[in-house]
């Protein structure tokens, strides 16, 4: 795969999965644009102030004007939307504030970035969203309904948008990870069998292929990346 001369936006590019995605893209020649919220996170990133990396400060990816500025005047090849958040909680214990935070952080941010990306892709391109296992297996979303609703929306957005823009040479797909093997997840679930969890590098490989020029036909897919979990 060759991303030489191609600009790729990676939201959530300072997190565990995003860092691996940016590393793979840089190795393949891409220039990565990484929106970030917290200065400390940006400085901790192994890609901070590195060649072929542009870090863009933002405060809210659910803000339409702010998202538009990230993509303004970009000759864009791909946009990969990893940014989001997780909140567990039974429906009886989840208020509107938590529900809307999940919808804004996961779905609205993805929608606005997709919108901006489509408008910035002048000669076709690729969009890859990140859904989640409960977006495909709703019953597994028990105890995390707000998160499940938001990520199911990401999956539906992916399929609908893929149909809209296929004629423009833009292929839109998503991955749906199970719990990934990250230090944070290990700390949260210390008794789990980590060997069953997909590694971030493995999920990265699927994302990078879907975002690459080598992907010539796959669109509207929500690809399960579960490992053995």
Distance CA 221, CA 206 (A): 12
Q: What are phi and psi of 171, to 5 degrees?
A: -105, 125
36, 48, 71, 147: which one is catalytic?
A: 147
Annotation marks residue 147 as catalytic? yes
Residue 88 to residue 147: CA distance in whole angstroms: 7
Longest Cα pair distance anywhere in the chain, in angstroms? 50
* Of the candidates 107, 216, 213, the residue with the CA atom closest to the CA atom of residue 160: 107
51 Cβ neighbours under 8 A, 6+ residues apart: none
Write out the catalytic residue numbers.
147
């Amino acid at each position: 795969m060759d991303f030489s001369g191609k600009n790729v936006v990676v939201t959530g590019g300072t997190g565990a999965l995003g860092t691996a995605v940016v590393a793979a893209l840089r190795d393949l020649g891409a220039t990565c644009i990484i929106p970030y919220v917290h200065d400390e996170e940006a400085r901790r990133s192994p890609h901070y102030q590195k060649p072929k990396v542009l870090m863009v400060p933002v405060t809210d990816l659910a803000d339409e004007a702010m998202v538009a500025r990230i993509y303004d005047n970009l000759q864009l090849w791909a946009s990969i939307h990893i940014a989001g958040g997780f909140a567990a909680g039974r429906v009886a214990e989840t208020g509107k504030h938590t529900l809307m935070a999940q919808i804004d952080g996961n779905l609205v941010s993805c929608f606005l970035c997709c919108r901006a990306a489509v408008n910035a892709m002048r000669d076709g391109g690729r969009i890859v969203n990140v859904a989640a296992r409960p977006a495909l297996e709703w019953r597994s979303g028990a105890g995390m309904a707000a998160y499940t609703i938001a990520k199911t929306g990401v999956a539906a957005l992916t399929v609908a948008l893929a149909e809209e823009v296929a004629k423009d040479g833009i292929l839109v797909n998503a991955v749906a990870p199970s719990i990934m093997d990250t230090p944070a997840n290990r700390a949260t679930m210390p008794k789990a069998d980590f060997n069953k969890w997909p590694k971030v590098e493995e999920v990265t490989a699927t994302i990078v292929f879907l975002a690459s020029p080598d992907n010539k036909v796959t669109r509207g897919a929500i690809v399960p990346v579960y490992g053995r979990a």
